[in-house]
Amino acid sequence: MSSVEPSASPVVASASAASRWGRWDSVLISLVAAAILYSNYLIFLVVPNERLMGPVQRIFYFHVGSAIAGYCASGVMLVAALAYLATRDRRADVVMEAGAEAGLVFSTIVMATGMIWGHSAWNTWFRFEPRLVTFLLLWLIFISFKVLRYFGDPARIPLHSAVLGILGALTVPLVVFSIHLLPQSQQLHPQVVGNRGLAPEFQYAMFVAMASIVALTFLLIWLRTRIGFLELQKELR
């Protein structure tokens, strides 16, 4: 079943709405930037050094926040993929691509910061254990999504992307629960259960960092969706 091209009017309306919402961009960007700055202030000037790992432990705040952001982006990708499969509306494909791009950005950050932290703390860049391997799989799926967008059959890209997007989103629970497949003694990646062992000053900084990065994720998805709608409008003219 081929994609159903939306008639020009709803797409033009969507793009126009996106343009009108652009006036709120500066407000949203300012709020998110302020949140990021505040979290950086907490991370670098308020929380103390971790006793065993020293300063490198501060990577933890944006490492965990970026992982949560990647999961949120996967959720957006999943919803948009399901919407595309149900309606074959190209606008859902635009949102799906926006979610996938944000997911790729933040999962790349997680991989990079995790490897640097792991090398510093445990002298190991990467290890084949459940959490790291499943997250690598998620990252590779995001990469595959972009490769598909560039090199896939143009007529089938949205459909194939939707299937790949659902597969990627289904990997997220695998990543989250993989940490429990082995006992802590057999894996380097920490098993975190609630806030056990985390001092209050660390908890607050972690919460603020996570909230600010997730806000940044949704802002980037929104901006990318707006760009996608404008490109779709231009294509349909």
Q: Which stretch binds another protein (CB under 8 A): 61-69, 152-160, 163-171, 175-183?
A: 61-69
From CA 233, how far away is CA 237, in angstroms rounded? 6
Nearer to another protein, 79 or 223 (CB): 223
Structure tokens, 80: 């948009």
Site for another protein in 181-210 (CB under 8 A): none
Beta bridge partners of 4: 89
Judged by CB under 8 A, the chain residues 82 through 101 that form the site for another protein are: 101
Total residues interacting with another protein, rule: CB under 8 A: 34
Q: Is 197 helix (H, G, I), strand (E, B) or coil?
A: coil
Closer residue to another protein (CB): 159 or 206: 206
Residue among 4, 13, 30, 49 that touches another protein (CB under 8 A): 49
Alpha helices by DSSP H, listed for the chain, are: 8-21, 25-41, 59-87, 90-122, 130-151, 157-178, 200-236
Q: What is the number of other CB atoms lying within 10 angstroms of the CB of residue 188?
A: 15
Residue type, 1: M
112 contacts another protein (rule: CB under 8 A) = yes
By C-alpha distance, which of 78, 65, 148 is closest to 107? 65
Give the interface segment with another protein, choosing from 89-97, 189-197, 198-206, 225-233 (CB under 8 A): 225-233
Interface ranges with another protein (CB under 8 A) = 49-59, 62-63, 66, 101, 105, 108-109, 112-113, 116-117, 119-121, 216, 220, 223-224, 226-227, 230-231, 234
